[in-house]
Amino acid sequence: MDPTTDNAGHTGDPGAARASLEALRAEIAKAVVGQDPAVTGLVVALLCRGHVLLEGVPGVAKTLLVRALAAGLDLDTKRVQFTPDLMPSDVTGSLVYDTRTAEFSFQPGPVFTNLLLADEINRTPPKTQSSLLEAMEERQVTVDGTPRPLPDPFLVAATQNPVEYEGTYPLPEAQLDRFLLKLTIPLPSRQDEIDVLTRHAEGFNPRDLRAAGVRPVANAADLEAARAAVAKTTLSPEITAYVVDICRATRESPSLTLGVSPRGATALLATSRAWAWLTGRDYVTPDDVKALALPTLRHRVQMRPEAEMEGVTADSVINAILTHVPVPR
């Protein structure tokens, strides 16, 4: 691909695109402390044209993480606070009657953007949650029988509180499967928490990321060049078979009622490829697959109730599978 330069000075060169995405990770770190795996996951999702679900207890900077990502990208972004009374049309848009022309015109909703922050998505009922299904999968919104394409790139970054919290509506399997990655945001370590408090004591304002020095360092041209380079990353037949074996093993696990579908296997292949390219390689290794297995697969399996009662988790099942499935040499 011949390098091209846009008006902002960004080129379509893959090497420059990788540097821009590395710079994006550094910009996010100016606002968010100690969440490197989640930052990397968001960048991987951008490369794979996928969506991300961020789960964690209140107060661990889930929303700040996505806002910092938006601030580091030269892309249009919108935020929707999901509440129990939110209607589907509040997300997708609706037809509005114009008294001057005596006709109905379409008023686009916040979903018509490059980066949509769906804040606390599991605090709204399933009817409104499902309004994102077509947008996430088909990259379009259909109102009154007319499909309307969404901008490219388009990414939904949704946050949710753990399902055992009051006032939450668990996302159905079909909705979860639309998310490329599910990233868990843990409580910070002691040192990271000290760093957070020190930043605040020195005047850091999470509502003013520009004052914190977060600037746009990557744009749509960088993403397009990066995605083209990821598509050229070599996949050996052994790696493809390794991904299939991992996913098939989840379908045979006695702890699960639902294993990973072929769509999940395709997702793991894509995320492994993106991670390999990000780390500077043009080929995928088994370690790349292992690195992305948990965030790519944990939300695509369903636990048996008896296994959950014994303290078994989706992560522990997947980790056990990674231990037992033969690794290609």
What distance in Å separates the CA atoms of residue 119 and residue 66, rounded to the nearest whole number? 10
pLDDT tens-digit map of 229-284? 999 999 999 999 999 999 999 999 999 999 999 999 999 999 999 999 999 999 99
Q: Is the pLDDT of residue 132 over 70?
A: yes
pLDDT higher than threshold 80 for residue 9: no
Strands (E), 9-138: 52-55, 77-81, 93-98, 103-108, 115-119
Compute CA distances 102 → 93, 145, 280, whole Å. 19, 20, 58
CA distance 140 to 224: 20
pTM: 0.87
- Nearest to 226, CA basis, from 104, 87, 44: 44
Q: For position 14, what pLDDT does the model report?
A: 76
Model confidence over 20-64: pLDDT tens digits?
999 998 899 889 988 889 999 999 999 999 999 999 888 888 888
